[in-house]
């Protein structure tokens, strides 16, 4: 994991306003999506609202990525490209006095030469893997003590992805990964069963279950799959769902990346990649006669459409539900309480 050093200040505390929908911080500690690598071009400066503040991010001419606050530490100028911030020779240039910063956040040059005193941007540790760029958020500026999985390992396809802005919280979207009782009613899954107990180890949580699902563009052109699913969470900004249909040799990886924009809204990114199907004739006899590249592209598009359809069925529920601190859970829903205890480590409350 490649991390860019950070010099964040330690003067920020998370608090919860009395009119908040949730009894915890809108910005939990953790790794959060910033961008897909293919959209982060060298020598271009970008900005966005991320974790309740404006940030800028860029890739220098050596390919290294920086994510930082959009405020120049010299005299407070806004460094976003919309307001005059720019890159020259891989360095960020302030539009006010021409101070130049490298991807480590250090001011390395002013118009009159090297700075007389140290001047550093507030930057965030970054991690780029498998075509996805993440940054680490901690309200006190602490360095990360844990990471997220390496997405570059294995013969996976490129990600297909989309996103939606939703009025909710990362804890709410992540909770779906352990709430398997909603799967038949909301998403139409059949024969849902737990394969083994929930595993919680520090910042990592895993859930294992099996579903039966009909897959295809229509009822006439479809097939039924028995699917084993592993859900892996690393904090509340990173959830990875891995459905496997062993009989046909289908391996899918879905990312659910929930990143707070402000105190009310999140950017919910849905991404999917697949491996080449191993036994296509199990699905439909003669399917292996199709060109392999076309077949795998077609299947990936189908699985992505299913994923998008399924997850969008939760959007209006997330946006309108009320968080209950003491829900009335049944005996088969106790994993939700374990999940909520797991979440406590990512919240800091005054």
Report how many domains make up the chain. Answer: 2
Any idea what the CATH number is for the domain that residue 169 is in?
3.90.380.10
Q: Are residues 181 and 246 in the same domain?
A: yes
pLDDT band at 348 (very low <50, low <70, confident <90, very high): confident
Q: Are residues 258 and 341 in the same domain?
A: yes
3-state secondary structure of 81: helix
Query: Which of 104, 137, 170 is a domain's end point?
Result: 137
pTM of the model: 0.91
| C-alpha distance from residue 267 to each of 32, 50, 54, 279, 321 (Å) | 10, 9, 14, 36, 18
| C-alpha distance from residue 249 to each of 63, 225, 252, 283, 293 (Å) | 36, 11, 10, 10, 16
Q: Are residues 172 and 315 in the same domain?
A: yes
pLDDT given for residue 148 in this prediction? 95
Q: Are residues 122 and 210 in the same domain?
A: no
Query: DSSP letters along 178-195, please?
Result: T-GGGHHHHH--EEEEEE
Q: What percent of the chain shows pLDDT beyond 90?
A: 81
Where are the alpha helices (H) located in the chain, listed in sequence order?
Answer: 170-175, 183-187, 292-312, 315-320, 335-343
Q: Where would I find the beta strands (DSSP E) of 41-168?
A: 45-50, 53-59, 65-69, 86-88, 91-93, 100-101, 107-109, 123-124, 126-129, 132-137, 160-166
292 within a domain of the structure (yes/no) = yes
Place of tokens 């060298």: 42
pLDDT band at 224 (very low <50, low <70, confident <90, very high): confident
Cα 30 from Cα 48, distance rounded (Å)? 18
pLDDT given for residue 310 in this prediction? 93
Cα 95 from Cα 139, distance rounded (Å)? 28
Cα 227 from Cα 250, distance rounded (Å)? 9
Q: In what order do the strands lie in the sheet with 100-101?
A: 86-88, 91-93, 100-101, 107-109
pLDDT given for residue 116 in this prediction? 87
Q: CB atoms < 10 A from the CB of 318, how many?
A: 18
**108-129 per-position pLDDT tens digit:** 999 998 888 899 999 999 999 9
What secondary structure letter does DSSP report for 261? S
Section 267-283 average pLDDT = 95
Section 302-307 average pLDDT = 92
Query: Which of 78, 105, 137 is a domain's end point?
Result: 137
Q: Are residues 229 and 329 in the same domain?
A: yes
Q: Are residues 229 and 302 in the same domain?
A: yes
Domain residue limits at 54: 30-137
**138-185 per-position pLDDT tens digit:** 999 999 999 999 999 889 999 999 999 999 999 999 999 999 999 999
């Amino acid at each position: 994991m490649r991390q860019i050093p950070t010099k964040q200040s330690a003067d920020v505390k998370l608090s919860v306003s009395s009119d908040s929908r949730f009894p915890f911080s809108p910005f939990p500690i953790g790794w959060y999506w910033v961008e897909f690598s293919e959209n982060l071009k060298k020598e271009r400066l970008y900005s966005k609202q991320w974790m309740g503040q404006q940030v800028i991010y860029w890739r220098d001419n050596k390919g290294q990525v920086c994510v930082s606050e959009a405020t120049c530490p010299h005299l407070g100028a806004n460094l976003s490209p919309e307001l005059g911030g720019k890159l020259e020779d891989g360095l960020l240039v302030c539009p006010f006095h021409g101070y130049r910063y490298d991807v480590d956040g250090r001011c390395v040059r002013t118009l009159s030469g090297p700075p007389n005193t140290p001047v550093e941007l507030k930057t965030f540790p970054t991690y780029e893997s498998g075509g996805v760029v993440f940054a680490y958020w901690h309200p006190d500026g602490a360095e990360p003590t844990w990471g997220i999985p390496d997405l570059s390992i294995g013969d996976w396809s490129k990600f297909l992805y989309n996103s939606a802005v939703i009025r909710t919280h990362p804890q709410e979207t992540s909770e779906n990964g352990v709430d398997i009782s909603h799967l038949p009613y909301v998403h139409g899954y059949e024969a849902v069963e737990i394969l083994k107990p929930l595993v919680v180890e520090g910042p990592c949580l895993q859930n294992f279950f099996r579903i039966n699902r009909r897959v295809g563009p229509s009822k006439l052109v479809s097939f039924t799959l028995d699917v084993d699913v592993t859900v892996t969470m690393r904090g509340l900004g990173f959830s990875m769902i891995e459905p496997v249909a062993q009989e046909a040799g289908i391996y899918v990886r879905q990312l659910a990346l929930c990143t707070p924009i402000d105190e009310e809204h999140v950017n919910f990114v849905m991404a999917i990649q697949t491996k080449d199907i191993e036994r296509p004739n199990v699905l439909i006899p003669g399917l292996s006669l199709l060109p392999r590249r076309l077949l795998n592209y077609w299947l990936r598009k189908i699985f992505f459409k299913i994923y998008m359809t399924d997850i969008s069925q939760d959007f209006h529920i997330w946006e309108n539900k009320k968080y209950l601190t003491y829900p009335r859970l049944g005996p088969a829903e106790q994993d939700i309480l374990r999940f909520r205890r797991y979440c406590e480590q990512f919240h800091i409350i005054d």
